[in-house]
Amino acid sequence: MDTTHGTPPVSSAPSPDAPVSDSSSSPESTARTASRRRFFQYVGGGVGLAALMTATGCDSEGAMTPPAEEPVVLDFSSDFGVLNYAYALEQLEAAFYAEAAANFYGDPSSVEGRYFQDLAAHEALHRDFLAAAIPELGGTVIPGLTVDFSSVDFSDRGAVLGVAKTLEDTGVSAYNGAGIYLQNPDLLTIAGKIVSVEARHAASVRSILNPGSADFAGDDVVDPMTGLDVAVPPAEVLSAVAGTGFVTTEIVVENA
C-alpha cells in the first residue's frame, strides 16, 4: 500500500456548476457539468438518498459493481478518489450489516433486531447513493470489494456488536480524516450528512455494548479537551481495515 502523504489542494473550491476534476470545454465536459448541476440541485433540494437512487436506477439489494480482479487504487488528488474511498467503506459496512441482519443472533422482531435491520438499510443506502453519485458527477466507480466475514460468529451477540463498534468508529474517523481532500464544498456537505448518521450508529452501538455509561462518546473517540471526534488519515484507516481480514481486495492509496 502506498502511504505517501501529499498536500491537499489549497485553491478555492469549484462551485457545483464547475467540473469536479476536468476543466476542458468539450461537449462531453459540458454534458458532465450539466449532470453535476442537476445532481447538486437534486440532493441540495432535499429529495433524499432513496429518491436519487430511484432516479438513477439503483437499488439496495446487493453490490453495485462487479468484484475487483486487480488492486483498487484510490487517488486522493481528485474528489472522485475521496468519494470512492467512502464507497469502499460503505461497501464493507453494508455487507456486514446485511449478514448480521440476515443471521441475527436473537429475536429479529425485538428492538435490537429491528435496530440491526435499520443499520443494514442505512448502510445499503449510503453505498448505493455513492455508487450512483460518482458516475452522475462524471467519475468512474471502483469495482466491488471482496469481503470475508468467516471469522465472525454471527450467533454471538458480543462478537457482532464488537465488529459493529469497530466498523462504525472506523467509518466516522475515516470521513473526518478525508474531508480535507474534498475540493467541492457541496460534496463536503453531503459527506457531513453521511458521517453524522455514522456517528449516530457508533454512539448507539457503544450504548448497547455498555449501557448507562459514557462510552457513547468515550474519550477514545472524542477528545475531552476539544470535544472533537477522531480524524484518521486514509492510509491508516485502510491499513486497519486490511488488518481485520474483512476485505480481501487489495486497496492502494495515492496522494493522501
What would the mean pLDDT of 125-133 be, rounded to a whole number?
A: 93
What would the mean pLDDT of 116-142 be, rounded to a whole number?
A: 94
Q: How confident is the model at residue 8 (pLDDT cuts 50, 70, 90)?
A: very low
> Which of 192, 186, 241, 180 lies closest to 6, judged by CA?
180
How far is the first Cα of the chain from the last one, in angstroms, to the nearest whole number? 11
- How is residue 206 written as a grid cell? 457503544
Predicted confidence (pLDDT) at residue 24 exceeds the cutoff of 80: no
Predicted confidence (pLDDT) at residue 254 exceeds the cutoff of 80: yes
Q: What percent of the chain has pLDDT over 70?
A: 74
Q: What pLDDT, on a 0 to 100 scale, did the predictor assign at position 13?
A: 36
Q: What pLDDT, on a 0 to 100 scale, did the predictor assign at position 199?
A: 96
What is the identity of the amino acid at 253?
V
Q: What pLDDT, on a 0 to 100 scale, did the predictor assign at position 70?
A: 86
- How is residue 61 written as a grid cell? 439489494
Q: For 187-217, what is each residue's pLDDT tens digit?
A: 998 999 999 999 999 999 999 999 999 999 9
User: Which range among 9-13, 115-119, 196-200, 238-242 shows the weakest confidence by mean pLDDT?
Assistant: 9-13
* Strand partners for 222: 229
Q: For 159-184, what is each residue's pLDDT tens digit?
A: 999 999 999 999 999 999 999 999 99
Asked if 80 contacts 20 with a C-beta cutoff of 8 angstroms, the reply is yes
Asked if 37 contacts 17 with a C-beta cutoff of 8 angstroms, the reply is yes
> What are the two backbone dihedrals, phi and then psi, of residue 250, each rounded to the nearest 5 degrees?
-75, 130
> Which of 67, 66, 42 lies closest to 56, judged by CA?
42
- More reliable by pLDDT, 234 or 44: 234
Q: Of all helices (H) and strands (E), which one includes residue 73?
A: strand 72-75
- More reliable by pLDDT, 198 or 30: 198
